[in-house]
């Protein structure tokens, strides 16, 4: 049986270590606009992700690794759990519903390691953390039953947005037809008393806020059916993320230009389960039919760091209760970015 993590407060901000493959620098930041080389080889494969999670599970006293289901092609879908106290508020981080949006997964895996090494201090005493990394492993590996050439123009692994059947998982949160979506809803959303969720995605590279390139965009639920209290919680979660990222100097967030359909996770999950949700759209994709939407190695490091910053700030604010007094007025003036890819 795993022991309870000792409550030792460790100071200092999180630092990033390298992902699998060649080490990556923090990079030139969101305004880097030079020529970048597409190189998906630095991204973990599904097998590397699975091995990494199992290794962390064996090392970490507070982590439990659960298989919540299988993909179309039979790959296990994982949930990393940190459930210190059922009475604590719970946050879920979800990555890679779209297979070609992997840097947020790399950041989530680094954050898992930080939770195990104590770099987050004693936050787990005040919050439960759930992480579902790479919900779409078939798309991430290009193991699909449709012609990849219809969707992918470049890259050395051929990551694609859709699952193996060519379905966009982030349009399946009402019908729940796909096995990946059913696994998420049956074995995570309906099973655990989740209070907050951040759904991490990627968008194009050319998004701007007030004429300046953004490193990402955020959005709360926009369906009219969401409970006002749930919406307010979502806006507070967004305030925490905005304050943490936008204050860095290298991260600049805009308001995502998203729709109101409840088939989209941030809308449907907020309505069905009463969970305060936030969409986070990271700048750039790992592979795309439009080469201009893809970021290469030179931006990977700072974007992974941005994911870690987002997860860390959210967990800390929920653990110490500061999220309850977060100022949401910034939403009224936050400029809307100018591309859509949710």
pLDDT in tens, 165-220: 999 999 999 999 999 999 999 999 999 999 999 999 987 655 555 666 777 899 99
Please report whether residue 258 resides in a domain. no
pLDDT at 297 over 70: no
Question: In this structure, is residue 326 part of a structural domain?
Answer: no
Could you report the per-residue pLDDT of 232-244, keeping only the tens digit for each? 999 999 999 999 9
Q: Is residue 267 part of a domain?
A: no
Question: What is the Cα–Cα distance from 300 to 307, expressed in whole angstroms?
Answer: 11
342 has a pLDDT exceeding 60: no
Structure tokens of 87?
A: 């009475």
Say if 252 falls within a structural domain. no
Q: Provide the mean pLDDT of the chain.
A: 82
Number of domains in the chain: 1
- Any domain includes 248: no
Q: Domain range spanning residue 180?
A: 40-198+281-304
Judge whether 268 lies within some domain.
Answer: no
Whole-Å CA distances, 48 to 43, 130, 137, 290 = 9, 20, 11, 27
Q: Residue 50 belongs to a domain with what CATH number?
A: 3.40.630.10
Give the per-residue pLDDT at 15: 31
Pairing verdict, β 208-209 and 212-213: antiparallel
Query: What angle separates helix 103-117 from helix 297-320, to the nearest 10 degrees?
Result: 50
Per-residue pLDDT, 211: 64
The DSSP code for 292 is: G
Residue-wise pLDDT tens digits, 23-61? 222 233 333 343 444 456 678 999 999 999 999 999 999
- Annotate 245-272 with three-state secondary structure: HHCCCCCCEEECCCCCCCCCHHHHHHHH
Contact between 99 and 138 under an 8 Å Cβ cutoff? The reply is yes
Render pLDDT for 206-227 as a digit per residue (tens, 0 to 9): 555 566 677 789 999 999 999 9
Q: Note whether residue 108 is domain-resident.
A: yes
Q: Does residue 217 lie within any of the structural domains? A: no
**In the chain, what percentage of residues exceed pLDDT 90?**
63
């Amino acid at each position: 049986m795993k022991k309870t993590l000792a409550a030792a407060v460790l100071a200092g901000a999180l630092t990033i270590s390298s992902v699998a493959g060649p080490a990556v620098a923090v990079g030139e930041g969101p305004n880097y606009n030079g020529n970048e080389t597409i190189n998906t080889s630095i991204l973990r494969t599904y097998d590397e992700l699975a091995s990494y999670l199992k290794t962390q599970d064996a090392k970490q006293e507070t982590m439990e690794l659960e298989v919540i289901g299988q993909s179309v092609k039979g790959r296990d879908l994982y949930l990393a759990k940190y459930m210190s106290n059922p009475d604590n508020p719970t946050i879920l981080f979800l990555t890679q519903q779209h297979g070609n949006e992997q840097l947020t997964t790399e950041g989530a895996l680094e954050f898992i390691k930080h939770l195990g090494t104590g770099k987050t201090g004693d936050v787990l005493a005040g919050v439960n953390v759930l992480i579902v990394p790479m919900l779409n492993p078939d798309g991430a590996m290009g193991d699909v039953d449709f012609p990849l050439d219809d969707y992918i123009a470049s890259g050395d692994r051929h990551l694609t947005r859709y699952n193996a059947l060519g379905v966009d998982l982030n349009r399946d949160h009402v019908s729940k037809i796909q096995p990946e979506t059913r696994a998420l809803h049956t074995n995570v959303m309906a099973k655990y008393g989740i209070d907050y969720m951040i759904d991490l995605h990627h968008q194009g590279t050319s998004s701007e806020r007030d004429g300046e390139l953004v490193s990402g965009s955020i959005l709360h639920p926009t369906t009219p059916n969401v409970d006002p209290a749930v919406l307010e919680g979502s806006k507070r979660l967004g305030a925490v993320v905005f304050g943490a990222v936008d204050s860095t100097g290298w991260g600049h967030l805009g308001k995502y230009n998203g729709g109101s359909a409840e088939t989209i996770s941030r809308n449907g999950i907020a309505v069905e389960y009463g969970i305060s949700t936030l969409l986070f759209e990271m700048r750039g994709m790992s592979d795309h039919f439009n080469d201009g939407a893809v970021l290469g190695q030179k931006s990977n490091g700072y974007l992974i760091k941005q994911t870690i910053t987002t997860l860390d700030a959210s967990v800390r604010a929920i653990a110490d209760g500061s999220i309850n007094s977060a100022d949401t007025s910034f939403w009224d003036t936050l400029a809307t970015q100018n591309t859509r890819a949710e």
